[in-house]
Copies of this chain bind each other. A is one copy, B any other.
């Protein structure tokens, strides 16, 4: 047991420095969610395995972490199980629970289970870790956080508009320049109908989803491999090459899809959304992007995806409208729309762009040096006074060498050092050292409060997390 301990691959410890940055992101996201009237729920880490199985495709089922039944898990096996020894069958028998794979399926389960208590439209957010037995690689973890915000029980396009506003507010506060891409699944269905391949919509959207990555030639040949006729592929080209501003694009679509009911409905939804957006200036760029399909097949209306303009890292937020999320749990006809913020990628973008600069607010403000038992009584009084004023203050617990105490302050980025030795105690004052300027001075205990108001509060510049936003 004396070799250095470690953690499972694909998981992470978060140090205090990392946590303060992460909390900065989560706090700001939460504050914006609340500003728009969303409230938090939480669901258990483990769900019944039947709740999870079959919701993420065969690939997803394989990536579920399963929890071994407590006690004698073998007792649930029969002779056949024991002799066949087929691991995928066995695992379902010895594991009744699994770790959640995302927040969407638990949310759907929650809505159905608590339908009697919920008042619709139900505006909720949920920020919790999820677990996937993916092969770990750079930027992909087996435990990571999702921040989901959804409104369920209303099909008004005002909800889509609200989510766009939330995206815009959050990335403005976090100072990340972004482009919000918008599409509509009904328009994609209309296009599939227009080219005479309605039943191939999944193949088509999966292929065009890759347009950015593999280019138009490869998309076309992939579609051909999938069995689309040459005529269908040729008819698809105007959609793949759609350009101009949003109103040009909507005009072209209107013309091409004039025969498709579903297509026209999608265009109307897009027009309504862009009218709401058009009335207001946003910080993000907004783009109607027909090549946006997103992998998940449960979207039925708007599709939304957000990318950083400065860091090439894939989507940092995405979502859309689904008309039947809860159907799989027996509750039909409830429409909802939601998006998910990728906290880990947002963290990476902000780190890369040095956007955590001004996080000084979260460190300790003041370290009082410990000179030994005799001075401690005096120091404890100062400590009390500063705490009463809400100043984050530590008294170093041991009378260690001054150098050690100063290097402790340095490593925690504590901006002010207070020292009270025999002289200061006799004169009822304190020596103050400003760690960034190096300046030292003596102040009388009487002006301690003034010192806090004028110097500490100014240096910190903020009065609590989150630094950028004050919600009433």
Taking beta carbons and an 8 Å cutoff, which residues of A are in contact with B?
1-8, 11-16, 19-20, 23, 34-37, 39-48, 51, 62-63, 65-68, 70-75, 82, 85, 87, 90-91, 94-97, 99, 109-110, 112-114, 117, 119, 121, 123-124, 129, 131, 133, 143, 151, 154-156, 158-159, 162, 169, 276, 279-280, 328-330, 362-365, 367, 370, 376-377, 380, 384, 387, 389-398, 407-408, 411-412, 452, 456-457, 460, 463-464, 469-472
Instruction: Assess the B90–A74 pair: CB atoms within 8 A.
Output: yes
Task: Identify which of B6, B119, B470 contacts A463 (C-beta below 8 A).
Answer: B470
Given contacts A4-B330, A158-B395, whether A16 and B44 have CB atoms under 8 Å apart is no
Smallest distance from the beta carbon of A95 to chain B beta carbons, Å? 6
Given contacts A112-B5, A377-B279, A390-B472, whether A37 and B364 have CB atoms under 8 Å apart is yes
Chain B residue numbers with a CB within 8 Å of A280 are: 380, 384
Instruction: Assess the A44–B472 pair: CB atoms within 8 A.
Output: no
Smallest distance from the beta carbon of A62 to chain B beta carbons, Å? 8
Task: Identify which of B20, B90, B154 contacts A397 (C-beta below 8 A).
Answer: B154
Chain B residue numbers with a CB within 8 Å of A20 are: 39-40
Chain B residue numbers with a CB within 8 Å of A6 are: 48, 113
Supply 28 A–B pairs (Cβ within 8 Å), ascending by A: A1-B330, A2-B330, A4-B112, A5-B109, A15-B41, A15-B114, A20-B39, A34-B362, A34-B392, A36-B392, A37-B393, A45-B99, A46-B131, A62-B70, A65-B68, A67-B99, A68-B68, A71-B87, A72-B87, A119-B411, A121-B396, A121-B397, A121-B408, A162-B397, A279-B380, A365-B472, A392-B472, A464-B464
Chain B residue numbers with a CB within 8 Å of A16 are: 39-41, 124
Instruction: Assess the A13–B95 pair: CB atoms within 8 A.
Output: no
Q: Smallest CB-CB separation from A32: which chain B residue?
A: B387
Which of A70, A362, A470: most chain B CB closer than 10 A? A70
Task: Identify which of B46, B75, B82, B392 contacts A471 (C-beta below 8 A).
Answer: B392
Smallest distance from the beta carbon of A135 to chain B beta carbons, Å? 10
Q: Smallest CB-CB separation from A365: which chain B residue?
A: B472
**CA A185 to CA B416, docked complex, whole Å:** 37
Smallest distance from the beta carbon of A339 to chain B beta carbons, Å? 15
Given contacts A119-B411, A158-B376, A158-B397, whether A41 and B66 have CB atoms under 8 Å apart is no
**CA A19 to CA B38, docked complex, whole Å:** 12
Chain B residue numbers with a CB within 8 Å of A43 are: 7, 13-14
Chain B residue numbers with a CB within 8 Å of A23 are: 40
Smallest distance from the beta carbon of A154 to chain B beta carbons, Å? 4
Instruction: Assess the B40–A13 pair: CB atoms within 8 A.
Output: no
Smallest distance from the beta carbon of A17 to chain B beta carbons, Å? 8
Chain B residue numbers with a CB within 8 Å of A156 are: 397-398
Chain B residue numbers with a CB within 8 Å of A73 are: 87, 91
Chain B residue numbers with a CB within 8 Å of A35 are: 387, 390, 392-393
Chain B residue numbers with a CB within 8 Å of A154 are: 397-398
Smallest distance from the beta carbon of A384 to chain B beta carbons, Å? 7
Instruction: Assess the A5–B329 pair: CB atoms within 8 A.
Output: yes
**CA A121 to CA B396, docked complex, whole Å:** 9
Task: Identify which of B46, B85, B377, B464 contacts A11 (C-beta below 8 A).
Answer: B46
Given contacts A158-B376, A364-B37, A380-B279, whether A85 and B91 have CB atoms under 8 Å apart is no
Instruction: Assess the B45–A129 pair: CB atoms within 8 A.
Output: yes
